Amino acid sequence: YHWIKRKGKPARRDIAPIVVSNHVSFIDPIFYFYELYPTIVASESHDSLPFVGDIIRAMQVIYVNRFSAGSRKNAVSEIK
């Protein structure tokens, strides 16, 4: 096993309300959800993935179509 060492703790939501992070595996979002319990923004295409789609729907993600300016604008409105 590989253990990740953490230093400190996440900032409070009133100080840092948005976390922007690129992830390299399906494990990363699980860690963020466990640690921060955030509202997640995800690509619409993830909704149709077997099993993963069910999980992210249960997490009540905000879907965004990366190729639609209107969709991106709606996602920003939902975040605010």
Contact 13, 38 (CB under 8 A): no
Report if residue 8 sits inside a domain.
no
Q: What is the C-alpha separation between 19 and 11, in angstroms, rounded?
A: 10
**Tally of domains within the chain:** 1
| pTM > 0.75 | no
Domain span holding position 52: 27-79
Cα 73 to its chain centre, rounded Å, is 17
Report if residue 72 sits inside a domain.
yes
pLDDT tens digits for range 29-68: 778 888 888 888 888 888 898 988 898 888 888 999 989 9
Q: What is the C-alpha separation between 59 and 75, in angstroms, rounded?
A: 16
Report if residue 10 sits inside a domain.
no
Report if residue 13 sits inside a domain.
no
Report if residue 12 sits inside a domain.
no
Report if residue 5 sits inside a domain.
no
